Structure 1
Amino acid sequence: MEAAAASLSGSNIFHRNYRFSRSINRRRYIASGSRYFSNSDLNTQNHSVFKGPNLSNVQIQKRNLRLQMNCALGVCTFPENVMESHHSHIVEEKLGVLLLNLGGPETLNDVQPFLYNLFADPDIIRLPRLLRFLQRPLAKLISVLRAPKSKEGYAAIGGGSPLRKITDEQADALRMALEAKNIRANVYVGMRYWFPFTEEAIEQIKRDRITKLVVLPLYPQFSISTTGSSIRVLERIFKEDAYLSRLPVSVILSWYQRQGYINSMADLIEKELGKFAKPEEVMIFFSAHGVPVSYVEEAGDPYKDQMEECIYLIMQELKARGIGNDHTLAYQSRVGPVQWLKPYTDEVLVEIGQKGVKSLLAVPISFVSEHIETLEEIDMEYKHLALESGIKNWGRVPALGCNSLFITDLADAVVEALPSAKALSASTENDEEAEYDPLRYLVKMFFGSILAFLLLLTPKVVLAFRNSLL
């Protein structure tokens, strides 16, 4: 799995000044609209934009998941600058939409540098401040060690990731869907860890003199390691550029609760169920990309809550269509020695096979494009494991890709986000110096030092590192 790594230290990127900077402040915040609410705020808010089933009496409400739906599309607007945007009086606007995605190696030779970019991200491997000088050396070592196994996976799906091609197709489809609504927009693709990088997309946005920008991460649910990491890159770039700092921007943080997305997923599930001899006996198996538990428990990542609510909404839609199949949720793609969100996909597949489930439909719920986690991990590894565990009939729901209902709903989300676009406010606060527990920090630094020392002196690592330089 390329999109995850061991978390060595927690941080919290949610805080009240609307910024997406790292912070050691351990108060938990939950995204809601264009501000962030701490746990103490949860009982004081009473908004809802979802037009689907009434959730007031269900158990999911008891965990305050309702606040996750209040995002008004999950839109976060960067706060307006003290100065009025110089675009405010331009008669003819040039609209831009920036699609954000992970990226993936397009050839086997790209695998190791792609992994290096991934593990060099401090949102993926988090080191205590005094050990951050090890970020790049560790990224180099880990990428060198993981590259051979990762190359095998990419070789099995054709020699590279199809993510860029699919994302480009989604960008074209979104542009045409906006044109159908009489909205002309340039749609850009920015990848976090491979070409075209987010920085390249932003440079093109500047060259095109875009006057209003909607940022749309292609992750239905928000996570620090996906949307959060990409937004922080944008924040850094925008702060350092006079033109960009005045550009009105609206960020759609999450959109898992949108009715168009829910209906699109329900359509695909219903279609695939129809391919089984006995559709009513099929277990619907939602497999989501995992994140370390520390992201949720220490950093306040809303990913787990949003994922569980997303499953609930999809199943409610299916029940409204008369489909009442059993279902379960598990998390895939864990790596490293830390604890990840449970239950794990591989373990659950074995358990349900032993319990006598014979027909299973896998649903890659956190992915809207086919890539290595669907084409190799689910279609090959997990399918083989399921069949070995006693499951006789296997099916898999395809990723949404350029599904017309899905793309149309994304276009609607862009249109609805436009009025809230505001200029990115420059800030000089140093959130790295937020409050923290000194003892906890010293413990992390101590064990981090030991880990770094062992990694750097392990013969296998030294040999691999030396070979990579030759």
Structure 2
Amino acid sequence: MASPASSLGRIGVLLVNLGTPDSPQTSDVRRYLNEFLTDGRVIDIPAAVRYPLFQGIVVPLRAPKSAKVYQQLWTERGSPLLYHGLDLKRLVQEQLGEQYVVAFGMRYQKPSIESALEELRDAAVDRIIVLPLFPQYAAASTGSVQQKVMEIVSKWWVVPSISFISTFTNDPGFINTIATLGKEEMAKHKYDHIVFSYHGIPERHVLKGSYKGYCQLGSCCDTYNEKNRYCYRAQCYETSRLVAKELGISKDQYTVSFQSRLGRDPWLQPYTDFVLKDFPAKGIQNVLAFSPAFVADCLETTVEVGFEFKEMFEAAGGSHWQLVPSLNSHPLWVQAVTDMVRNN
């Protein structure tokens, strides 16, 4: 009997992450930020304002500072977000076998989504499964990838069947991998409290996507259901609940917070940098931090959570701050991605 994959022909798999500069040099960082910060799904203001504001003022001011931070992040292999993505592509390809063709692209800069899609088209795949590597759906991340893919393939004369894995907030393999990495850290040290720090988004992004006004930025996220399954905030709380359950900790033993805000408009709260400064006064001296919005090491995990938040916590009187490693190309994560593709 033919397997499901063989009966459908070769299946293309497109893994996509956010993006990275080609190098930590200011010119490359500027090029990356120009593309990223002028995306209308990331900065949702009119293009007539967005382009001159960010290309003319924000990016030129931000690029030199960001370049210094990227220099802290860079390794002998280059950008962690890139080489972990390429490692994941290779290992998932090995797991899936010849009936699948796995490609990897970045929403911004290289390797581009367009080049990855061309790789799949050249392989004459029968259909394409797109997996944006963002666990929780947000219009500025997963939604932007989906829009870009559709814009590219809309120009093809022959468009194969395409499906998207839009969220894996509560995927068992994803949750298990995070919890496993967390348990390894918990075996090394005793922690008073756990922080789940997610990348923030403006509150207006959540409200714009609310199902018939269901979202109130409050207790509506206490459960995860059909009305809020694409609400970024609700997904963050759901991931946290599931990981906490696997770790065997209660609700009062962890905090969900949000980082990396930009601009003056209100973003999802509480803010991680505010929360951690209050911990020592509450008797919390040892904190284990997770970054469940990211599946690979990057500036927001290694530098922001791992270094900057650690310094803030210690300056406030805390004793020990430890970041749980990202999933990267951990065998359990490779298996989780493989299972998601096969189940799709």
TM-score by length of 2: 0.87
Indicate the residue corresponding to 2:239 in structure 1. 310
Indicate the residue corresponding to 1:155 in structure 2. 71
Question: In 2, distance between residues paired with 1:261 and 1:416?
Answer: 14
1:338 aligns with 2:254: no
Indicate the residue corresponding to 1:188 in structure 2. 103
**71, 92, 114: which one aligns with 1:199:** 114
* Shift in Å, 1:91: 6.5
**173, 177, 201: which one aligns with 1:291:** 201
Question: In 2, distance between residues paired with 1:290 and 1:209?
Answer: 39
Counterparts of residues 413-452 of structure 1 (less than 5 Å): 413-417=340-344
Q: What is the letter of the counterpart of residue 285 of structure 2?
A: K
Question: In 2, distance between residues paired with 1:257 and 1:113?
Answer: 35
Give aligned pairs, total: 314
Question: In 2, distance between residues paired with 1:199 and 1:136?
Answer: 23
Q: Percent identity?
A: 32
* Shift in Å, 1:293: 0.4
Indicate the residue corresponding to 1:260 in structure 2. 173
Indicate the residue corresponding to 1:225 in structure 2. 140
Indicate the residue corresponding to 1:270 in structure 2. 183
* Shift in Å, 1:92: 7.0
Indicate the residue corresponding to 1:101 in structure 2. 17
Q: What is the letter of the counterpart of residue 15 of structure 2?
A: L
Indicate the residue corresponding to 2:157 in structure 1. 242
Please tell me whether the aligned partners of residues 9 and 99 of structure 2 are also in contact (alpha carbons under 8 angstroms). no
Counterparts of residues 63-82 of structure 1 (less than 5 Å): none
Q: Residues 340-380 of structure 1, C-alpha deviation per residue, up to 9 Å, x if partnerless?
A: 10000100000112212111111111111001111111121
Question: In 2, distance between residues paired with 1:329 and 1:135?
Answer: 31
* Shift in Å, 1:209: 1.4
Question: In 1, distance between residues paired with 2:99 and 2:59?
Answer: 41
Q: Residues 247-267 of structure 1, C-alpha deviation per residue, up to 9 Å, x if partnerless?
A: 111211111211111111111
Please tell me whether the aligned partners of residues 42 and 140 of structure 2 are also in contact (alpha carbons under 8 angstroms). yes
Q: CA RMSD in A?
A: 1.8
Question: In 2, distance between residues paired with 1:134 and 1:308?
Answer: 34
Question: In 2, distance between residues paired with 1:148 and 1:353?
Answer: 34
Indicate the residue corresponding to 1:125 in structure 2. 43
Indicate the residue corresponding to 1:327 in structure 2. 254
Question: In 2, distance between residues paired with 1:395 and 1:362?
Answer: 6
Question: In 1, distance between residues paired with 2:290 and 2:9?
Answer: 40
Shift in CA distance, 232/382, structure 1 to aligned 2, threshold 3 Å: same
Q: What is the letter of the counterpart of residue 177 of structure 1?
A: Q
Paired residue secondary structure (2:170): coil
Counterparts of residues 51-70 of structure 1 (less than 5 Å): none
Paired residue secondary structure (1:224): coil
Paired residue secondary structure (1:192): strand
Q: Which runs of 5+ in 1 are unaligned?
A: 1-89, 418-470
Paired residue secondary structure (1:262): helix
Shift in CA distance, 91/327, structure 1 to aligned 2, threshold 3 Å: closer
1:145 aligns with 2:145: no
* Shift in Å, 1:299: 3.0
1:362 aligns with 2:278: no
Indicate the residue corresponding to 2:87 in structure 1. 169
Question: In 1, distance between residues paired with 2:305 and 2:48?
Answer: 36
Question: In 2, distance between residues paired with 1:249 and 1:221?
Answer: 20
Q: What is the letter of the counterpart of residue 292 of structure 1?
A: P
Please tell me whether the aligned partners of residues 161 and 372 of structure 1 are also in contact (alpha carbons under 8 angstroms). no
Higher relative contact order by CA 8 Å / sep ≥ 6: 1 or 2? 1
Q: Which runs of 5+ in 2 are unaligned?
A: 1-5, 211-229
Paired residue secondary structure (1:288): strand
Question: In 1, distance between residues paired with 2:68 and 2:80?
Answer: 15
Please tell me whether the aligned partners of residues 99 and 190 of structure 1 are also in contact (alpha carbons under 8 angstroms). yes
Please tell me whether the aligned partners of residues 209 and 231 of structure 2 are also in contact (alpha carbons under 8 angstroms). no
Question: In 1, distance between residues paired with 2:206 and 2:8?
Answer: 43
- Tell me which moved more, 153-162 or 289-298: 153-162
Question: In 2, distance between residues paired with 1:224 and 1:401?
Answer: 23
Paired residue secondary structure (1:362): strand
Question: In 2, distance between residues paired with 1:211 and 1:138?
Answer: 43
Question: In 1, distance between residues paired with 2:264 and 2:284?
Answer: 31
